[in-house]
Amino acid sequence: MKPDSFKAPDYYNLDDLLSEEHLLVRSTARQWVKHHISPIIEAYAQKAEFPKQIIKGLAEIGAFGSYIPTEYGGAGLDQISYGIIMQEIERGDSGIRSTASVQSSLVMYPIYNYGTEEQRKKYLPKLASGEWIGCFGLTEPNHGSNPNGMETKFKDMGDHYLLNGAKLWISNAPFADIAVIWAKNEEGRIHGLLVERGMEGFSTPETHNKWSLRASATGELIFDNVKVPKENLLSGKNGLGAPLGCLDSARYGIAWGAIGVAMDCYDTALRYAKERVQFGKPIAAFQLQQKKLAEMITEITKAQLLAFRLGQLKNESKATSAQISMAKRNNVEMALKIAREARQILGAMGISGEYSIMRHMMNLESVITYEGTHDIHLLITGADITGISAFQ
Ligand code: TGC
Ligand code: FAD
C-alpha cells in the first residue's frame, strides 16, 4: 500500500470552532492511525482478519469509552471528541472504527447507563483498557430492521436466568469476552443481559466470506440453555428504547466516521488527479474531473457542518434520535458516493489495494446497512416530520 500522506480538507475553517482539547485528541488519533493502521490494514483486509495487536493502542488514544467518566477508566471527553476519534479511526478503516464504536457505544454505554454500580466497576475499566472486548447482540436471523420481533428469550429460574436463542451479524463476536445481548422475558419485555465467554451453552461461530468490513470479525451468538447469573441483568432500563438508546450513540459516531472515509477518498483522488497525465495534461485539468472533485469537497463540508452541530447538541443533551438518524444517513451516503467517484478518478488503479478507496467503498456497503439501514433512517425522518409511522 502507498505511504499514508493524508491531508485533511477544512474548506470552511471548521478547525476554528474546535477547542485545544479537540485538536489534541485529533492529532493524537490521526498520528496513531498513520503509524498503526495505514501500514497494515490492506493486508489484514485481504486476509479477512482483525489485527488484534492494535487493541491496546485503540485504548490508549481514548477510543474505548471516550465519553465515559475517568473514574470508570473512560477518557472523560466530550461528544465532539468522541466523534473526532471515530472520524480519524474510520479514515483508516470502517472495520476498525466498528470495533471502537461497538466497544464504546454499544457495550460500555449500556453498562454505564443501565447497569448497577457493581457492573460498572466490574466491567468498565477492563473494557476501557482493552483487556476485554465486547459485542452487542440485537439482530437475529429473522429480525433485523424490526428488532421488536426478536425471538431470543430468557426465563426466571429462581437463582438464575435461562437464555435461549441466536443473534446474527454481530461485530467482534468471534473473540469478544462479553456480549451485551437483548432478549425477551416471559412477559415479552426486552431486557439487556451480560453474557460472558465461557458460560456453558454460549458459542460464537465466525461469519466468513464477507466482501465488506473484512478487517472486522463478524459472527453469531448462540445461546443454548445458557445459565445467566441474575446479577448480569441490566436493570436500569428495559423495552426496545434501551437498545435503541445505545444505537443513538453509535449512529452519532458513524456520522463522524463516514466523514473520515470521505476525506481519505477525496484527498487520494485530488492528489492522483493532479499527478496523473493523459492527453498531455494532468487529469485534474479536465472539467469532468473538476466537477467530481468540487462536488466532493462541497458534500464533505456540508457533512462536517452537520456532524459538528450535532456534536454541540449532543454535548447539551439536546440531540434527538431523528436528528442522529438524518446525520448517519446523509453522511454515510455522502461517503459512499464519494468513494465511488474517487475510484473512477483513479481509473484502473482505483481497484488496486495500493490505494484505500476500493476497501473503503466495500466497507461502506456494510455501514449503510448496519445501525439501521439507509431506508429505515429515511422512514425515521419521515415519521418525525409527519407524525405518521410508515414502518408497518
Ligand atoms: P417504536 O415504536 O418507534 O419505538 C419503541 C420504543 O423505543 C423508543 N425509541 C428510541 N429510543 C431511543 N433511541 C431511539 N433511536 C429510539 N427509537 C425509538 C420509542 O420511544 C419507544 O419507546 P416506548 O417507551 O414508547 O416504548 O419502535 P418500532 O418497533 O416501530 O421500531 C422503530 C425502528 C424501525 C426505527 C427501530 O426498530 C430501528 O431503529 N430499527 C433498526 C434496527 C437497527 O438499527 N439495528 C442495529 C443493530 S446493531 C448494529 O447494527 C451494530 S453495527 C456495529 C458496528 O459494527 O459498528
Ligand atoms: P432487513 O431488515 O431484512 O432489511 C432488508 C431490506 O428491507 C433493507 O433494504 C431494509 O431497508 C428494507 N426494509 C426493512 N423493513 C422495511 C420497511 N418497514 N420499509 C421499507 N423497507 C424496509 N447487528 C447487531 O445487532 N450487532 C452488531 O454488532 C452488528 N454488526 C453488523 C456488522 C455487519 C458487517 C453487518 C453487515 C451487519 C451488522 N449488524 C449487527 C446487523 C445490522 O444491524 C442489520 O443487518 C440491519 O439492521 C438490517 O437488518 P437485515 O440485514 O436483517 O435487513
Fold that domain 241-386 belongs to in CATH? Butyryl-CoA Dehydrogenase, subunit A; domain 3 (1.20.140)
Which ligand ends up closest to the CA of 258? 1
Alpha helix ranges (H) inside the chain: 20-36, 41-46, 55-60, 79-92, 94-101, 109-114, 117-128, 241-275, 287-315, 321-345, 357-367, 374-386
Report CA-CA distances (Å) from 236 to 51, 116, 133, 233, 245.
34, 7, 22, 9, 12
> What are the domain boundaries of the chain?
14-133, 135-234, 241-386
Report CA-CA distances (Å) from 54 to 63, 91, 212, 283.
11, 15, 20, 38
Q: Which of 214, 240, 248 to mutate to test the pocket of ligand 1 (most atoms within 8 A of CB)?
A: 240
Cell output for 326: 438524518
Structure confidence at residue 346 (pLDDT): 98
0.85 exceeded by the pTM?
yes
* Phi, psi for 390 (deg, rounded to 5): -105, 20
Structure confidence at residue 1 (pLDDT): 75
Place of cell 474505548: 64
User: Could you report the per-residue pLDDT of 183-226, keeping only the tens digit for each?
Assistant: 999 999 999 999 999 999 999 999 999 999 999 999 999 999 99
Ordered DSSP codes for 93-109: -HHHHHHHHIIIIIIIH
DSSP code at position 390: -
Check if the beta carbon of residue 99 is closer than 8 Å to that of residue 216. yes
User: Could you report the per-residue pLDDT of 63-95, keeping only the tens digit for each?
Assistant: 999 999 999 999 999 999 999 999 999 999 999
Which ligand ends up closest to the CA of 247? 1
From the CB of 204, is ligand 2 less than 6 Å away? no
Superfamily of 135-234 according to CATH: Butyryl-CoA Dehydrogenase, subunit A, domain 2 (2.40.110.10)
Structure confidence at residue 311 (pLDDT): 98
92-110: string of b/e by CB count within 10 Å (b at 16+)?
bbbbbbbbbbbbbbbbbbb
Check if the beta carbon of residue 289 is closer than 8 Å to that of residue 270. no
Please indicate whether residue 299 is annotated as part of the active site.
no
How remote is the CA of residue 138 from the centroid of ligand 2, in Å?
A: 10
Burial of 386 (0-12, 13-18, 19+ CB in 10 A): exposed
Structure confidence at residue 3 (pLDDT): 87
Structure confidence at residue 222 (pLDDT): 98
Superfamily of 14-133 according to CATH: Acyl-CoA dehydrogenase/oxidase, N-terminal domain (1.10.540.10)
Ordered DSSP codes for 184-248: E-TTS-EEEEEEETT-TTEE-PBP---SSSTTS-EEEEEEEEEEEEGGGEETT--STHHHHHHHH
How remote is the CA of residue 42 from the centroid of ligand 2, in Å?
A: 26
pLDDT averaged over 10-residue windows placed end to end, the chain, 392 residues: 91 98 98 98 98 98 98 98 98 98 98 98 98 98 98 98 98 98 98 98 98 98 98 98 98 98 98 98 98 98 98 98 98 98 98 97 98 98 98 89
From the CB of 147, is ligand 1 less than 6 Å away? yes
Structure confidence at residue 212 (pLDDT): 98
Check if the beta carbon of residue 335 is closer than 8 Å to that of residue 262. yes
